[in-house]
Amino acid sequence: MKWLGLIAVLVVVTIVILASKGQLPAEIKALYDFPGGDKVGHILLMGTLSFFVNLAVVSTLVARPTRKIVITTAILGLAITLEEITQQFFSTRTFSLLDLLASFLGLTIAAVIVNFIAGKKQS
């Protein structure tokens, strides 16, 4: 399970680097090439990241899964906030509060799902 979390982090970091360089493949750009698609992309990408990282953390720690999920999600949220802020320094990127909020929504939805799964495993 830990490997899925690591793979999710590597995929997201790769996408962020490619986007920062303005080199996202056409196939990835096409996935969100519709009105509001960028926001949906943020929700899905960051939700996927949150899901697999939180699942990896919960699978390695038995006690207090909700606390671990909250801490992990807060750390991910901080990293995503810093990444969104740094977009101001790249000509190929633009800072967007709505993008950041969409990312937070994805993080939160995934964290709630993992917390539900963790609760089912303990009962």
Q: What is the pLDDT of residue 1?
A: 64
Average pLDDT, 10 consecutive residues per value, the chain (123 residues)? 83 86 85 89 93 91 85 97 91 90 98 92 69
Give the per-residue pLDDT at 90: 81
Tokens of 95: 């800072």
Following DSSP, what letter does each residue of 7-38 receive, concatenated? HHHHHHHHHHHHHHTT---HHHHHHT-STTHH
Q: What is the pLDDT of residue 64?
A: 82
Q: What CA–CA distance (Å, rounded) separates 103 from 73?
A: 11
